[in-house]
Each structure stands twice: as C-alpha cells, then as structure tokens.
C-alpha cells in the first residue's frame, strides 16, 4: 500500500534494511477564553529501506482535546532525504522540512484516537529517522500523558475553578478508538462450511471466468479463491519447493498460489529468460497440486506501469503462449501502480491485454488500480473513476490491496461499494502495516477476512515466506529447514491466515 497500500507497501515490502524511530509526545496546555484546551501527540515513525529508497509509516495519536483538522510537521536529518508518493495525507517539502495534512476522512481525532499515514521516499548518503515532530504546531516531546487538565489549575480566578473546570477532557472517553469497528462483521465465516464438489479446487471449478461482478467457475456459479502470495522470487526461491507447495495444498488447504515476479529490484529486467522459466516452473507446481496460480508482474518502483510496457508485452506474450492450455492461470498485469493517473493505467492495460488474448483468449486478467491498487482511495479517490471509465476488455477484474494495520474502515467501505459495481480481486493483502512489517492487527484482519468472505472476494495473503517481516507466514529459517506443515513453524500472521484458509471452501457445482 503494501498503498499505503504497500500502498508497501506496500510497499517497499522488500526492504533490504530497516530503521525505526519512536517519538512520543507530551501534552501541553493551551488556555483559551476561560477554558483549558489540551494539546499533545504521540508519533511513531518506522521505515523499511533499500538502496536509495524507503517506505515510511507514521502513526499519529492525539493525546489532547479532540481536533478537527491536523498538520504534522517534521524535518529530515539528511538533506538527501526526499518525500515521494504518499498516502492518507497531503505532503509538501521545503528543504528538509516536511508537512503532512489530513485528508477528509481522517481529519477528526478524538482524545486517544490514532491515524496512520505514510509515504515512499528517496535518500542519498544515509536515511536517519526524524527526531522531532509537531502536531498543529505543538511539539511532541515525551512519552507520558500527564493529564492535560492539571495545568489549567493555574487559572487567574481560582474561585471560578469549581465550576469552570469540569474536566473538559473527560468527554472524549465517549470515543473509544474508532478503529475498533470490526462490529461490521457478523461473522460470515459460516459460508465456507461445506464443499458440494469433491477434489482439488482446480478439478472442481475448472476454467474460471468473470460473470457480472463475480469470479465464476465452469458451472457459472460465483466462487471465492483463498491462498497465498510468494515474496519476491528473486530473494525467496528457497521457500518454493515440493514440500512447501505440498503444505500449501494439503495442510493449508489453499486454492491459490500467487507468483510475485518483481520487474525491477533485482528481478525480471536482470535476466528475462531465467525469470520467465522460474515463473512457469511455479505455475506447473501449482497445477500439479490442483491450485490456481496468479502470474504477478510485480511492478513497484517506478509506479507508472507504462515504464515497463515493452517488458510486459514480451513477458506476457511468452507466458500466455506457454500456459494457454492450462485451466488455472490468472494474469496480474501490474501489481501496484502508484503516482500515476487511472487514465495512464487504463492505457497500459488496453495495450497489454491484447497480447495475452492473442495466445490465451479466455483467461481471467487482473488489472492494477490507482494508489497502490487501492481503487484510488490511497490517492483520495474511489472506485467511481473506474466505474465511469472501465478498461475496454472482457473477463477482467480489478485489483484491491490492503494492509490491515494501516487500512481500515474507509478502505473497507470503498471495497464494499466497489464490489457492488466492479469485479474485484484482492490479489495481495497483509495482516500488518503497509510496509509489510510490524505487529499483526488481529481485529482489523478479522474484519477484512469476514468482509471478503461475505462478498465472495478472492484473495492472496502476503506472504508465503520466512522473510524477516511481520507479514511473513513462516518463522525465520523455516525455508532452510524444509518442514512447512503444522503451526510450530508459523508466525502469528501465518497461523491466523492458515486457520482461515483451512475452513472448507464453498464451490457450488449446480
């Protein structure tokens, strides 16, 4: 969002190094016209870095009185650090000084409420974390929350204090963390309770197609595929072998294996023939186990897919010709477009899709969307731009990516709205922040899974690997040990997702 979605991330999901800085703010009393106004904040700033670039994720917590509208300020320690594409805020930079202003949906922060924002940036020389932050001009300087109502006792008219100080900050207790809205989830996990068909997902459903807004099987019935995405195959090929694919099919009882082939970041562009062969190998391995596969042309940096248009045409002409006879191949033509308009993404799609169709006229194709495949929400837009100007092609779906700790109610609302108008495929999501790292947000992840189950939206979780990130399904070192079954080798994220994927599929056959 990876978009903020990896928005990655969402991404820079595959960071080579990580830097973390934590600054927690103290409260400062700001008297005004007879009433005490408390102000203060806590800011957590974390980064995933790679050579010359980084993803920054920022959590802002309001420790003062409720605010409507905020501006976060900070300065980079190194003049070579620059803000690039950002999400969940409007960013500007003058010299080393950076400001981030709220968007419409996250401008109101009650006492104790938090919001998450982030951006992708570049660096030259070094990439240290900022050491000081301000929120609406108030410096965040400590980790305590020393009762903003203590300072107002220095009021000139102490005789008025019994009535004038009815603890103004007590009211915000009525806003207990708006992010706890997983009440929207009436536990629709009851859907996958029985599978009318028998056999592997591929054997039951056969070739897939898009019908209306749904992904449908050979019986023209809507289905939901649930599975896992690889990490970058240039880094984690050790994780994808007969044993790990057997575990995915038999122990996880998954339906889907997404093969993420990075184009840059030491990927396809370095050796097109070798990476094409590796992708085909993984497709064959998935098919042999009755799994569907997604061939993911994993564009990340730069974010404009047209930069890789010639490479995309070459790659997809090759893999489509080679895999056209298979029933279970889905093509994802641009992972997470970012910093680019929907018109440009649409133009790219309408040039690449005919290349695939020339060899494989019926396969399902997933088209990336604006704002790190957030349907535009990470850019302050929504699905309407696609609804009003759809890609001119049949049998296509639109990608939606999210990371549960960073993307919550407004993203879920967008997906719900979009799913009523567009065929949507969640080809990547994480249980953690948009960087691909951090703690698992169980409540938000559960809300997302329940929503996708209820709407029959297919998904692939990031990531089936032992990467040193919170999003990894396996504990570090698992891929070197060769044992992939059971829960002992799983991280918290892996155990949570495996438990959900293992519930019985519902694949109607009549």
Per the residue annotation, which of 332, 336, 383, 469 is the catalytic one? 336
Give how far Cα 436 sits from Cα of 4, 204, 365, 398, Å: 10, 33, 25, 22
Interior CA angle at 278 toward 273 and 282, to 5°?
A: 150
Q: d(Cα 189, Cα 415) in Å, to the nearest integer?
A: 18
User: Is there a catalytic annotation at residue 428?
Assistant: yes
Question: Does the annotation mark 265 as catalytic?
Answer: no
Q: Using alpha carbons only, how large is the chain's radius of gyration in Å?
A: 24
Largest CA distance in the chain: 86
Specify whether the CB–CB gap between 385 and 375 falls below 8 A.
no
Say if residues 253 and 502 touch (Cβ distance below 8 Å): yes
> How far is it, in rounded angstroms, from Cα 254 to Cα 273?
29
Closest CA to 361 of 329, 408, 399, 402: 329
Strands 133-135 and 71-75: antiparallel
d(CA 318, CA 310): 13
Spatial contact of 14 and 266, defined as CB atoms under 8 Å apart: no
Letter string b/e over residues 410-421, b meaning 16 or more CB atoms within 10 A of that residue's CB: ebbbbbeebbee
Reading the block at residue 196, the tokens are 């009318």
H or E segment and range at residue 284: helix 272-288
Catalytic residue among 287, 383, 385, 428: 428
Catalytic positions, please? 336, 428
């Amino acid at each position: 969002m990876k978009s903020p979605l990896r928005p990655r991330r969402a991404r820079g999901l595959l960071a080579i190094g990580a830097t973390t800085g934590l600054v927690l703010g103290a409260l400062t009393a700001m008297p005004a016209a007879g009433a005490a106004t408390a102000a203060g904040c806590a800011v957590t700033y974390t980064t995933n870095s790679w050579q010359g670039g980084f993803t920054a994720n920022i959590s802002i917590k309001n420790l003062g009185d409720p605010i409507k509208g905020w501006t976060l300020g900070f300065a980079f320690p190194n003049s070579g650090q620059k803000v690039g594409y950002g999400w969940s805020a409007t960013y500007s930079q003058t010299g080393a000084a950076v400001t981030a202003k709220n968007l419409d949906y996250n401008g109101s922060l009650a006492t104790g409420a938090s919001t998450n924002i982030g951006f992708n940036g570049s660096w030259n020389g070094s990439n240290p974390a900022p050491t000081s932050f301000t929120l609406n001009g108030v410096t965040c300087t400590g980790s305590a929350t020393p009762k903003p109502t203590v300072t107002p006792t220095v009021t000139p008219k102490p005789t008025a204090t019994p009535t004038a100080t009815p603890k103004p900050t007590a009211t915000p207790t009525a806003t207990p963390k708006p992010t706890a809205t997983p009440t929207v989830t009436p536990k629709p996990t009851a859907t996958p309770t029985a599978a009318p068909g028998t056999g592997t997902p591929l054997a039951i459903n056969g070739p897939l197609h898009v019908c209306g807004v749904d992904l449908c099987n050979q019986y023209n019935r809507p289905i939901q595929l649930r599975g896992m995405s690889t990490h970058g195959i240039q880094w984690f090929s050790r994780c994808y072998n007969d044993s790990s694919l057997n575990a995915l099919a038999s122990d996880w009882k998954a339906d889907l294996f997404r093969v993420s082939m990075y184009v840059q970041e030491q990927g396809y562009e370095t050796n097109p023939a070798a990476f094409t062969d590796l992708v085909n190998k993984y497709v064959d391995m998935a098919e042999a186990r009755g799994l569907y596969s997604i061939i993911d042309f994993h564009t990340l940096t730069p974010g404009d897919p047209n930069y890789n248009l010639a490479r995309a045409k070459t790659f997809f002409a090759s893999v489509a010709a080679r895999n056209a006879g298979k029933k279970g191949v889905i093509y994802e033509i641009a992972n997470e477009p970012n910093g680019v308009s929907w018109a440009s993404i649409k133009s790219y799609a309408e040039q690449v899709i005919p290349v695939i169709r020339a060899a494989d006229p019926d396969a399902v194709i997933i088209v990336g969307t604006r704002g790190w495949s957030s349907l535009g929400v990470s850019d302050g837009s929504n699905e309407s731009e696609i609804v009003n100007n759809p890609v001119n092609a049949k049998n296509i779906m639109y990608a939606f990516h999210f990371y549960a700790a960073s993307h919550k109610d407004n993203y879920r609302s967008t997906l719900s709205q979009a799913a009523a108008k567009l065929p949507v495929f969640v080809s990547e999501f994480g249980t953690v922040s948009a960087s691909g790292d951090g703690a698992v947000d169980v409540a938000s992840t559960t809300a997302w899974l329940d929503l996708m189950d209820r709407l029959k939206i297919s998904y692939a979780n990031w990531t089936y690997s032992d990467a040193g990130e919170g999003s990894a399904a396996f504990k570090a070192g698992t891929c070197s040990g060769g044992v992939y079954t059971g829960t002992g080798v799983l991280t918290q994220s892996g155990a949570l997702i495996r438990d959900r994927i293992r519930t019985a599929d519902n694949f109607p056959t009549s």
